[in-house]
Amino acid sequence: MSSIHLPSGRRDIGDYLGRLHWPMIAALSLIAGVGVLTLYSVAGGAWSPWALKHAIRFGAALSLMVAMAFVPIRFWMALAYPTYFGALIALALVPFIGATNMGAQRWLEYGAFQFQPSEAMKIGLVMGLARYYYGLRAEQVSHPVFLAPPVAMILAPVGLVFIQPDLGTSLLLAATGFSIVLLAGVSWRITFLGGLAALIGAYGAYRFEILKPYQLERIFTFLDPDRDPLGQGYHLLQSKTGIGSGGLTGKGFMEGTQAQLKFLPEMQTDFIFTVFGEEFGFVGAVSLLGLYLTVILMGVFVAVRARSHFARLVSMGVVVTFALYVLINTGMVMGLAPVVGVPLPLVSYGGTVMLTIMGGFGLVLSAHASRDQDASGIIV
Amino acid sequence: MRGGGDQERKELFTRRAALFSGGVTLLFGGVAARLYHLQIANHEAFNELAIENQFNSRVLTPLRGEIVDRFGVSLASNRQNFRVLLVPEETSDPEEALQKIANYVELPPSRRQRILREIRRTSGVNPVQVIDNLDWDEFAKISFARPELPGALPEVGETRNYPFGPATAFVIGYVGAVTDRDLQAEDDEGERVLLRQPGFKVGRDGLERTYERELRGVAGEMQVKVNAHGQVLDEYRDDAVQPEQGRPLALTIDAELQAAAMKELEGESASAVVLDIETGDVLVLASTPAFDPNLFNTGIPSSLWRELNESPYKPLLNKPLGGIYPPGSTFKMVSAIAAQRSGIRPDHSVRCLGRMYYGNRYFHCWKRGGHGVVDMKNSLKKSCDVYYYDIAQQLDIDLLADTAERLGLGQSYNLGIPGERGGTVPSREWKRAFYAGSPENQRWYPGETLSVVIGQGAATSTPLQLAVMAARIASGKQVRPRMVRMVGETISPQPNFADVEIDPAYFDVARAGMDAVTNEIGGTAYRSRLDNPDWRLAGKTGTSQVYRITAEERAKGLTKPEQLPWEKRDHALFVCFAPFENPRYACSVVVEHGIGGSRAAGPKAREIMRAVLKKDPASLPPIGPSALAAAGPAGRRGRG
């Protein structure tokens, strides 16, 4: 094997391959495999239009992730603020030059190339906040002066995404951001006050009709699914019917009647868990959940083991985002959370989200590979 | 930030990360618990919902029962109908869908509007028929283009076919689309579901309407697998409950003779009835002009409907049953028999001078110069009016009415065809009822009997009643006409008619008089005789006044009826039976505004009777139950 000298640590590629988090790569690949399988079924047993593209995209994203893992975490730290602010500027530009799609402006277009700044912000926010707390001592974390910047860093993108409007992503960003603040060690008292402020803000949003009618409708439908049996609630009922009728072992691959007979909405994206649950049953669905939890816990271990505070917080940030995706999506299709349009990571069809997730895990893998280095790159 | 400072925040971080892990694990547990709740605890309920989603029961429309004539010739059958339905659920914009369909078949805007209304009326739940009776080319074209036509469903249905068209229109009737009123009138939910099937037809008139229950059949049911859009993906034919075709009807009609009679009457506003005297079988029930019921299947074009309604020839009136005419001189046999019942002997003679003074005015004979001395037989042969004016003075109106009724007038026979009318047999009681509101008009005046005795005044009859009268005079039996010989396998029993409750001897002179009308020189219908001695035809002419030429008009030179406008001309009537020695067939012909019975009605009746006697349908075996069960190419199968 040819020996490549990498700038940091001066080891050859064999060493680096050894430092890759293989179990995590395997788990992620398994999840993506479930995605390919289910998309094949959703298409009525065909590679097109989704399954093949999903597999190809995963292959590309996987390469990106591994490539990112080869880059030491301190380089990523150097890129943290530029990433955050770049994404923020792009987000701010969306209302002016963004493309409108289905009533919401979320995309920036340049020729055939499409770019969704809110997705980039999911990584950007995690990196930015981690970078910020890297520079803070433990006793400073709860000090109001040091609390203000991260709050601003969170609220700015949350607000911009909210006005696109994209309630789901803005809530996701807010939750991720405040999770990082919490993990950085902010006191419970401040957490409590923050939570109270969020509740008041939510009430204000409702009171002053900041939410769009369809957003309110989704929340109300979640609270009382019987209020419109053929609208949102109908989809939810069909989704629950799909999952419930799957039973213990499911109806079998490509045998899901709810899915194959098109009773489910958005089967290839938001409601793909329903398809999987119907065809593979309780056993399959719980196994998939277990797979997700495995990835999450592995991520937590990577974070806890990291020597760099940036690496810790970035890894946890990615893991939190990932966990929120899984919990909100599965909760949504089973009537535990409002239908807000959050995909199931690596299983739902969609390139941007996959890129976000795999990019995030690229950082986690990098943190894992660099676990013995502190931020200056010195191996301890 | 190395060393001790990091240690503190690392510990804090680790604690919180551990807390997070615990929290997330707990939440995943919650999701798993929800999965358990849905997939294990409530699996049954959700599974049932999923099954309900996939399966729909589809109604299998039964084939309508066939209608055949007495020898099994098809009068109403079913044929394949290439049609296009629109499934509202499969298209977001039915209007646009129709627009696209209109690129392939002709679909005028008015028809499109009607379809859209229908969709709204049924809330878009059922498929709606867009067009039917397409030819194969059109059907193939639209089937081929189906991918571009959302919601369009080309399909092969069944539609009613009437091989004889107008010739049997008034017997069979026709079928038409189901209306809201039909649905409201139907109590049975299952039948209502059947009625709501796209393009389903029910009997609208004639036997089709009367025997709707028998003809409709029993709906079948088939489970189908559908997707969320209601598209049928799979059919479970093996487990289907097959529909049962409606019961066939076998009529007494002879289609061949019916068509011949229709041809004979062509160009006139006329009717003809032929009865089998022994069985009462209606062999011919002809009415002209007629409409083609095949055109009514698809919905009557409004222009045609208007034309049919406004025509002075009343092509929608079933004239043999619903047309009422003063019987005119055909009533004279009734008067002659009634006279004998009141003691006037057949050799009673009267000198006819062309008119008779009664009350304060003259009653005219149709022959201005008079007939000279006539007896009862000759009064019929020559149709002398004065003879009857004479006997009317000794004849009680109620006895005359009773005689008329015993001979079949003023009664309904309920052949199963809607629209049959009873006509009027005037009597004291009738007049009291008629003038119930004005007692001063209720009294019967003897002068009125003078009109009734020659079949004028208030007396009216239908052609069917006149044929029955001829049959009863010929046989002396209470002949009752019938139209339906068999419903399904149930054959109506051979009737055994009782004698008319009048001394049979009184009929002799009536028959002899009718024989003289056609077979003796000087008879009013001598030219309508049949020369074949086996077919000896006895008849009676009748001319019933529609408009009385006023003295003023006569003064202006209007003497000939041809000078009157068509609708003011007299009706021409003829009743007859044959063979004279052994009567088997009775016939009546009425030609509206035909001027004279002897020249307009008689020859037509002779030709119809010639065809009847030549074929002698009574001598041929009618179709039996087993042959009827197998009737029609479709047998008893339903449409799947």
| Residues B350/B387, Cβ–Cβ less than 8 Å | yes
B34 touches chain A (CB under 8 A): yes
A372 vs B contacts (CB less than 8 Å): none
Calculate mean pLDDT across residues B93-109: 85
For position B551, what pLDDT does the model report?
A: 76
Q: What are phi and psi of B202, to 5 degrees?
A: -125, 160
Q: Which string of b and e fits A131-168 if b means at least 16 CB within 10 Å?
A: bbbbebebeebbeeebbeebeebbebbbebbbebbbbb
Statement: residue A366 has pLDDT above 90:
yes
Q: Give CA separation, B13 vs A122, A189, A190, A315, B533, in Å.
A: 21, 17, 16, 12, 128
The CA dihedral of B116, B119, B121, B125, to the nearest 10 degrees, is -170
Give pairs for B496-504: CB < 8 Å, separation 24+.
B497/B280, B500/B406, B500/B407, B500/B472, B500/B476, B501/B406, B502/B337, B502/B341, B502/B403, B502/B406, B502/B407, B502/B476, B503/B340, B503/B341, B504/B476
- Does the distance separating the beta carbons of A293 and B24 come in below 8 Å? yes
Q: Give B225→chain A minimum CA distance, Å.
A: 9
B29 vs A contacts (CB less than 8 Å): none
For position A224, what pLDDT does the model report?
A: 55
| Residues A216/A206, Cβ–Cβ less than 8 Å | yes
Residue A15: helix, strand or coil by DSSP? helix
Structure-block tokens of residue B546: 């529609």
B26 touches chain A (CB under 8 A): no
For position A376, what pLDDT does the model report?
A: 61
- Does the distance separating the beta carbons of B20 and A300 come in below 8 Å? yes
| Residues A245/A257, Cβ–Cβ less than 8 Å | yes
Among the listed residues B524, B275, B235, the one whose alpha carbon sits nearest the alpha carbon of residue B415: B275
Best mutation target among A134, A245, A325 (most B Cβ atoms within 10 Å) is A245
B24 touches chain A (CB under 8 A): yes
Query: Cα(B155)–Cα(B385) distance, rounded to whole angstroms?
Result: 66
**CA B326 to centroid of chain Cα atoms:** 24
| Residues B2/A131, Cβ–Cβ less than 8 Å | no
Statement: residue A58 has pLDDT above 80:
yes
- Does the distance separating the beta carbons of B13 and A312 come in below 8 Å? yes
For position A226, what pLDDT does the model report?
A: 52
Tokens 């999911």 belong to residue: A122
Query: Cα(A281)–Cα(A274) distance, rounded to whole angstroms?
Result: 10
Query: Cα(A225)–Cα(A229) distance, rounded to whole angstroms?
Result: 7
For position B637, what pLDDT does the model report?
A: 40
Statement: residue B368 has pLDDT above 90:
no
Q: Give B113→chain A minimum CA distance, Å.
A: 28
B29 touches chain A (CB under 8 A): no
Q: What are phi and psi of B575, to 5 degrees?
A: -120, 145
Statement: residue B68 has pLDDT above 90:
yes
Among the listed residues B70, B247, B77, B73, the one whose alpha carbon sits nearest the alpha carbon of residue B633: B77
Calculate mean pLDDT across residues A203-230: 64
Structure-block tokens of residue B65: 């029962």
Of B8, B21, B229, the CB nearest to A138: B8
* Bond before B603 cis per omega within 30 degrees: no
Per-residue pLDDT tens for A71-95? 999 999 999 999 999 999 999 988 8
Calculate mean pLDDT across residues B202-220: 93
Statement: residue B13 has pLDDT above 60:
yes
Q: Give A21→chain B minimum CA distance, Å.
A: 19
What's the mean pLDDT when you consider all of chain B?
Answer: 89
Per-residue pLDDT tens for A115-135? 788 889 999 999 999 999 999
For position B506, what pLDDT does the model report?
A: 95
Give pairs for A102-109: CB < 8 Å, separation 24+.
A104/A164, A104/A165, A104/A166, A105/A164, A106/A164, A106/A166
Q: Give A110→chain B minimum CA distance, Å.
A: 34
A141 vs B contacts (CB less than 8 Å): 9
In percent, the amount of chain B with pLDDT more than 70 equals 96
Of B16, B32, B229, the CB nearest to A185: B16
A376 vs B contacts (CB less than 8 Å): 2
Among the listed residues B323, B322, B262, B364, the one whose alpha carbon sits nearest the alpha carbon of residue B571: B323
Query: Cα(B53)–Cα(B115) distance, rounded to whole angstroms?
Result: 28
The residue ranking higher by pLDDT, B624 or A87, is: A87
Statement: residue A98 has pLDDT above 80:
no
For position B515, what pLDDT does the model report?
A: 95
Query: Cα(B275)–Cα(B588) distance, rounded to whole angstroms?
Result: 9
| Residues A185/B16, Cβ–Cβ less than 8 Å | yes
Question: By CA distance, what is A278's nearest residue in B?
Answer: B39
Of B17, B225, B227, the CB nearest to A304: B17
What's the mean pLDDT when you consider all of chain A?
Answer: 86
B125 touches chain A (CB under 8 A): no
Statement: residue B301 has pLDDT above 80:
no
Of B42, B46, B53, the CB nearest to A261: B53
B229 vs A contacts (CB less than 8 Å): 262
The residue ranking higher by pLDDT, A105 or B506, is: B506
Count helices and strands (H / E) in chain A.
Answer: 15, 3
Residue A111: pLDDT band (50, 70, 90) is low
Query: Could you give the domains of chain B?
Result: 57-251 (3.90.1310.10), 255-619 (3.40.710.10)
Calculate mean pLDDT across residues B420-434: 93
Statement: residue B497 has pLDDT above 60:
yes
For position A5, what pLDDT does the model report?
A: 46
Query: Cα(B169)–Cα(B159) distance, rounded to whole angstroms?
Result: 16
Residue A100: pLDDT band (50, 70, 90) is low
